[in-house]
Every structure is written in C-alpha cells, then in structure tokens.
Amino acid sequence: MSNQPSRPNYFLSMFAMKCPRCRRGPMFNNSNPWKLKKVFDMPESCPVCGQRYEIEVGFWYGTAYVSYALTVALSVATFVAWIVLIGMSAHDNRFFWWLGINSVLLVVLQPWLMRLSRVIYLRFFVKYNPNYMTEAPDNER
C-alpha cells in the first residue's frame, strides 16, 4: 500500500476553493465570501504544497472573463428553469419577474462567483500533481 494520500475529487475541491496543485490547501484566508472587506484575502502560496497563487503581476485580471462566463451560465440555467417550471406566454410580464429575481440572485452570489472564478482561472495554469509532497512547485524550479 502506498503512503500517498487519496486523490481529492476535482469538482469538490474546486467548489471548496482548494489549491489546484494539491487540492488540499485553502485558497482564501477566510471561508466566508460575504465578508466583503476580505473577499479576496489570499495567502501568497498554498500552506500545504507551497504553490504560489499569484503567478505574475496582474494575473487575476483574466478572472473577469471566467466570472462573466459563470454569470451567463447561471442566468441561462435560471431562465431555462423558469421557463420549465413557470412557463411563459407571449402576453404576460413573467419575464420581468425572472429578470428581477435573477438580478437579485446574481448580486447576492457575486462574492462567491468572484472567488470561484479565481479558483477556476488558476486551474487553467496549475495542474494537479499527485507528487506534490516530494516535488517543488513549478514556480520554484
């Protein structure tokens, strides 16, 4: 039997906002994204594997595209759910009800979506390494 820990699930570690390299270390200092003054408080590197989070200066600007894609996907999903559950005819104002409810939902979820976009964006550049305990991160080589 190997001494290596089991491989954490890709999606569960992503939604738990864990480091992409080891999938164990937290990416944010506090777990509550709705503490708005500290929504982006991150350690410089993963406390478990040492992976640096900000790969270069201005690295996080790319998360705007990921956040936009998440927002569009969530809006489409809520619209489809609204159509399936409520239905819509040509001469009613239920579309505006969806628009208002969706807007409130997006505003409430925005801190969580911004954090999730950082997690997803970093995963584009840093891959899981099952040997993270014995190998140095790419940024230290």
Is 95 part of any domain?
yes
Is 37 part of any domain?
yes
Is 2 part of any domain?
no
Domain range spanning residue 61? 10-140
Long-range contact list for 33-40, CB < 8 A, 24+ apart? Answer: 33/111, 33/112, 33/114, 33/115, 34/111, 34/112, 36/111, 39/111, 39/114, 39/115, 40/114, 40/115, 40/118
pLDDT of residue 91: 67
pLDDT of residue 89: 63
Is 3 part of any domain?
no
Mean pLDDT per 10-residue interval, the chain, length 141 residues: 69 92 90 83 90 90 95 95 77 83 95 94 90 74 46
Q: What is the pTM of this model?
A: 0.82
Total structural domains within the chain: 1
